[in-house]
Chain A
Amino acid sequence: MSQPVAPATGSGRIRTPLPFPTAAKPAVADTQLRANLHRATRTIRAKRARVVDEVPDWEALRDAGSAIKADVQRRLPELLEQFEASATAAGATVHWARDAAEACRIVVALTRAAGADEVVKVKSMATQEIELNEALEAAGIAAYETDLAELIVQLGEDTPSHILVPAIHYNRAQIREIFQRRMADAPADLSDEPAALAEAARAHLRRRFLSARVAVSGANFAVADTGTLVVVESEGNGRMCLTLPETLISVVGVEKLLPTFTDLEVFLQLLPRSSTGERMNPYTSMWTGVTPGDGPQDVHVVLVDNGRSAVLADPVGRPALSCIRCSACLNVCPVYERAGGHAYGSVYPGPIGAILSPQLTGVADNASLPYASTLCGACYDVCPVKINIPEILVHLRQQAPHPPAERAAMRVLSWVMRSPRRWAVALRLARAGAGPLGAYRERRTGARTLRRLPWPASAWTRSRDLPLPAPQTFREWWGKQ
């Protein structure tokens, strides 16, 4: 099969409809959301730290994961063709999708060909990215999310706000309220105990599993040498979808490849500890094409580019494709903890989203995201495949369109600071200009600080005092010695 040429940018739910600072504003003010995120991220953070600390060769595992992914990126075309050949030989049908719309069209056509008007879904970031549920609905096909958190989000007519825990922005009382409002078969006396909520979802989903003829999944890994797909999950609902229906369609980003089956040794150690903070996840499902008389007999794989080739072309930004969607970077990020996932406007929130979404869409379309970070580096420390997120953020800031006033100010400042003579004059002027004001403030308030300034400095003084230049600069002190 000849490979189509991928477009330069991806489509789907990967663009911020509002700039990050604007979208973050209501989230920061939402006390319930703040409490939910604070509690949830810190709980997972602590669990991860415990199970990572007990692995003596964790750093070596990270190096191995990073090296395997770099190798995949270096020879992706070759590995994709190898995967296609292996999977096809095992009885699967491999499809290629350039972008979100093409991937959705393929899944709709396959579902129709199977004669189905509903599908059950395994939790999958790729299908969220391409907005598959919306495309299926438009084609008259009902999509049922079976992952508990995805089900909550779907019933709430909401979008996921976290990669691993899509409903992290809800607490259990809010979940009970969604179930009672939107789940017709929820018990009337449903409590907000986690076990009761899970049981209600279990009863609700069981009927879907038994009647569905088509399942749609993603994949955590796609193994080139064997043609095997791998799904890692906690609940077992994915296992139901992957084994009961007759037709199985898996939507897989092209970066999910691993060269060999033994490479899973590294990633099946890295992923559960980094994501749920477990030593091993409860369910790991692997399937290789069709096994006659056992499980789905009509197996399809849709390999999706959707902007990934463009990311691959940039050697500095490329490691973003190493991401295994563990969410460790979200859980340690102080910005994510306060702004929540929806502020990032993409299915990929948090630090990884801030480097992945702008690269998939082109930076101009997500220009505020590379700036949605203090560059504190907590994400880089926990990344199981050692993606240097701060470095890529700074790299993307070079490409972002800069506001004209900011650009002008930066250029003037650079012109001053590149010259020792001009800088010395500027320091003297700044000190002399602010001197009387500083002295006045010190007499009035006991400190040389400003409490209110006009825009744009108001962005600072709205919540912090601003120190004024000292009565003498350091170089003036030095010169007097």
Chain B
Amino acid sequence: MRIALFITCVNDLAFPATGIAVTRILRRLGHTVDFPADQTCCGQMHANTGYRAEALPMVRNYVDVFDSYDAIVAPSGSCTAMIRDQYPHLHPPATSVAARTYELSELLVDVLGVTDVGAEFPETVTYHPTCHGLRMLRLGDRPLTLLRQVRGIKLVELGDAEECCGFGGTFALKNPDVSTAMLTDKCARVRDTGARVLAAADNSCLAHIGGGLDRHRSGVRAVHYAEILAETGATS
């Protein structure tokens, strides 16, 4: 199976550790991963902010870059949801490649049939199901199924877990007061758990919640769950 990594624009620039983690997990499981260098951005920010025409060139580029692969994996629930849910409407020729694009937990659990990726992570972790993964992709408990197999991990349940953190892309900039009010409540629920690590499937949401946790010097670290799955206890 030819697997390609769609890193996403935000991860490429600000969270390369997540892409490195995905690469390590898949290689550890015996798969070859390609990184087509011509990839850019899925166009979600443009499309969801009301700039459909400006998003379309990115959609076409995605089709050009990834159409020849059997499976494309993206470590982002919302970018995957953009591709799978919106691409077929925005650009019908993208329908086929959109259906072959998976969020990491979908690729591991549904396509590759793996739940134990051989990870070890001796920390207390709480998991926030991000909105697009939860309600558009219907990831369900796939990421938690993977995390439960991690040796040494202590998973603690997040209160009001399914409530949005208030990020919403440009919402955080256009509606900073309401966004901050939502963020404050999300951070409080994270602090309630006593966890030292907050995990999720989207680094954009994590940058928002993590940015709030950092602002208050909470001592809680926000990481993509792929980075937990990549840990084996050995020094890399």
Contacts and interface: CB of A to CB of B under 8 A. Distances in A.
Contact of A376 (B20, B60, B135, B211): B135
Interface stretch (B94-102, B116-124, B150-158, B163-171): B163-171
Nearest to B206: A467
Given A414-B58, A451-B215, A459-B173, A420 B16 contact: no
Interface in A441-464: 447, 449, 451, 456, 459-460, 462-464
Interface in A224-249: none
Contacts, number: 196
Interface in A1-46: 20-21, 24-25, 28-29, 34
A464 B215 contact: yes
Say which size band chain B's interface belongs to: 35 or more
A468 B14 contact: yes
B131 A374 contact: yes
Contacts of A419: 40
Contact of B135 (A378, A431, A449): A378
B59 to A, nearest CB: 10
B193 interface: no
A406 B174 CA distance: 11
Contact of B168 (A370, A374, A469, A475): A374
Contacts of B145: none
A473 B40 CA distance: 13
Contact of A420 (B39, B45, B181): B39
B12 A427 contact: yes
B180 A463 contact: yes
A371 B48 CA distance: 10
A478 B164 CA distance: 33
A478 B54 contact: no
A424 interface: yes
Contact of A334 (B47, B50, B163, B207): B163
B132 to A, nearest CB: 7
B49 interface: yes
Nearest to B89: A391
B112 interface: no
B143 interface: no
B236 to A, nearest CB: 13
A380 B135 contact: yes
B183 to A, nearest CB: 6
A418 to B, nearest CB: 3
A193 interface: no
Interface string A279-307: 00000000000000000000000000000
B166 A334 contact: yes
B135 A420 contact: no
Given A410-B49, A464-B211, A456 B16 contact: no
A418 B55 CA distance: 8
Interface stretch (A88-96, A121-129, A163-171, A395-403): A395-403
Contact of A394 (B12, B35, B48): B48
B7 interface: yes
A334 B182 contact: yes
B164 A398 contact: no
A410 B51 CA distance: 8
Contacts of A338: 178, 181-182
20 contacts: A21-B174, A28-B178, A338-B182, A375-B131, A376-B135, A377-B135, A378-B131, A381-B135, A413-B45, A414-B57, A418-B40, A420-B38, A420-B61, A460-B173, A464-B183, A464-B208, A470-B14, A470-B15, A474-B20, A478-B35
3 tightest CB-CB pairs across the interface, nearest first?
A: A374-B168, A464-B211, A397-B50
Given A338-B178, A464-B212, 9 more contacts: A28-B180, A371-B175, A374-B182, A376-B135, A376-B168, A398-B50, A414-B58, A469-B13, A474-B12
